[in-house]
Amino acid sequence: MRNEDFVPPTPRPGPRLRPVFTAAALACACLTAAGCAGDGGRSPSAGPGAASRPGSPPPSPSSGQPSAPATSPAAGPLPRGPLTGRTVVIDPGHNPGNRDHTREINSQVDIGTGRKECDTTGTATDSGYAEARFTLDVSRRLRTLLEEQGAEVVLTQDGDRPFGPCVDERARIGNKERADAVVSVHADGSATGNRGFHVILPAAVHGGGADTAKIVAPSRDLGERIAGNFVRVTGSAPSNYIGGDTGLDTRDDLGGLNLSTVPKVFVECGNMRDPEDAALLTDAGWRQKAALGIAGGISGYLKK
């Protein structure tokens, strides 16, 4: 798929390296494997949404007014656990409704170092399973796993708005929540034969409204932990076409990262255009493993 504001990067030649995951990244997190209901980036992208706070009608991104971020639909207080007192923002890439709102999502927004489309439609498998459906399903599963550990989880959208939010608004939601960690969930849309996952890290960017100096190092720590746990839990290998076999890729052209003031990464869970990866991405059991892998990385980062 294509991440929210992704533009396929120019291939970077170089030696292929072995994964550089830290020991902490490979540590096993104590997470339950319980699933949850629900139904994803690097070429053009798509995305799902977050559950809005009760009583808040989903405002239109074109109105210029930020929408209320989605909180958990769970009733009652969160259980106490190792992540009690921590706030995590989950950003399901794209929105299933984006394809019906091309004018709105093609509008330009400021990403700090320039201007870019509000959002994109995302990719899909050859059978038509949309990235936006994938990202929303994995994000909901991830929310459940983190809440079981006591974390306060906010989704940028939960299928509760007609399109968007725009990439700049997605960043603002994490900033406003003063999140301890933000993870944007995606699936790629590259060529057949390109397989595996990768985690996108923010580059050092300073210009316009963007200044990532304070989040580059903690975001890398978060990304390495997620990558290591993703390998362990899902059995998937790091991307064979991005990141030199490390599973890590640094980008300076994504508004969702450039405008963030809190640690944030993107996770491209696999390539929807490759038949073997697509078979995994469309399997509910594997999507639960993907959520567990991401949750383990977030948990390890927050408990360090």
CATH code for the domain of 169: 3.40.630.40
The pLDDT assigned to 75 comes to 56
| Residues 6+ away with beta carbon under 8 Å from 180 | 86, 87, 88, 262, 263, 302
* Residue 181 Cα to chain centre, angstroms: 11
In a domain, 155, yes or no: yes
pLDDT band per the 50, 70, 90 thresholds, residue 19 = very low
Is it the case that residue 78 has pLDDT exceeding 60?
A: yes
**Does the pLDDT at position 21 exceed 70?**
no
Q: At what angle do helices 284-302 and 216-234 cross, to 10 degrees?
A: 140
| Banded pLDDT at 48 (limits 50, 70, 90) | very low
Judged by phi (left if over 0) then psi (alpha if -120 to 50, else beta), residue 249 lies in beta
Q: Is the peptide bond before 165 cis (omega within 30 degrees of 0)?
A: yes
Nearest Cα residue to 297 out of 209, 226, 244: 226
Best mean pLDDT range from 8-22, 52-66, 135-149: 135-149
In angstroms, the Cα distances linking 232 to 26, 66, 203, 251 are 7, 37, 26, 25
By residue range, what is the domain housing residue 227?
A: 31-52+83-302
Residue 284: is its pLDDT beyond 70?
yes
Using an 8 Å Cβ cutoff, are 252 and 219 in contact? no
pLDDT (average), residues 220-239: 98
**Confidence category of residue 215, pLDDT binned at 50, 70, 90:** very high
Matching residue, tokens 């076999």: 245
- Is pLDDT larger for residue 9 or for residue 272? 272
Whether 258 shows a pLDDT value over 90: the answer reads: yes
Q: Which of 9-18, 169-178, 184-193 has the lowest mean pLDDT?
A: 9-18
Please give the mean pLDDT across all residues of the chain: 82
Among the ranges given (56-60, 96-100, 104-108), the one the predictor scored with the smallest mean pLDDT: 56-60
Q: Is it the case that residue 107 has pLDDT exceeding 70?
A: yes
Q: What is the pLDDT of residue 151?
A: 98
Interatomic CA distance for residues 282 and 45, integer angstroms? 16
Mean pLDDT of 181-188: 98
Enter the tokens of residue 226. 């997620």
Q: What is the pTM of this model?
A: 0.79
**Residue range 126-155: mean pLDDT, rounded:** 98
Nearest 5 degrees, angle CA 237-CA 238-CA 241?
A: 120
Please count the other Cβ atoms lying within 10 Å of the Cβ belonging to residue 99.
17
User: Which stretches within 29-166 are classed as H helix?
Assistant: 102-105, 131-147
Instruction: List, in sequence order, every residue forming a beta bridge with 198; answer none if it has no partner.
Output: 268
Residue 36 lies in a domain: yes
Q: Percent of the chain beyond pLDDT 70?
A: 75
Give the active site residue among 4, 169, 177, 268: 268
36 near 137, Cβ under 8 Å? Answer: no
What is the β-pairing status of strands 198-202 and 264-271? antiparallel
* Per-residue pLDDT at 213 exceeds 90: yes
Within a domain: 295: yes
Note the pLDDT of residue 209. 84
The number of distinct structural domains making up the chain is 1
Mean pLDDT of 195-215: 95
Of 57 and 286, the structure prediction assigns the larger pLDDT to 286
Kindly indicate the confidence band of residue 127, based on its pLDDT and cuts at 50, 70 and 90.
very high
User: Is residue 58 situated within a structural domain?
Assistant: no
Mean pLDDT calculated for residue range 250-266: 97
**Residue 69 pLDDT:** 63
Instruction: Please report which confidence band the pLDDT of residue 39 belongs to, taking 50, 70 and 90 as the band edges.
Output: very low
Q: Give the residue among 209, 226, 208 at the shortest CA–CA distance from 263.
A: 226
- Examine the residue annotation and report whether 131 is marked as an active-site residue of this protein: no
- Which residues lie below 8 Å from residue 116, measured CB to CB, with a gap of 6+? 5, 7, 108, 109, 167, 253, 255
Confirm if 60 and 136 have CB atoms less than 8 A apart: no
Confirm whether 180 is domain-assigned.
Answer: yes
Count Cβ atoms within 10 A of the Cβ of residue 185 and give its class: 0-12 exposed, 13-18 middle, 19 or more buried: buried
DSSP state of 42: B
pLDDT tier at 47, thresholds 50, 70, 90: very low
Q: Is residue 59 part of a domain?
A: no
Per-residue model confidence (pLDDT) at position 76: 74
Q: In this structure, is residue 118 part of a structural domain?
A: yes
Residue from 8, 88, 1 nearest 251 by CA: 8
Percentage of the chain lying above the pLDDT 90 cut: 72
Reported as a pLDDT band with limits 50, 70 and 90, residue 26 is very low
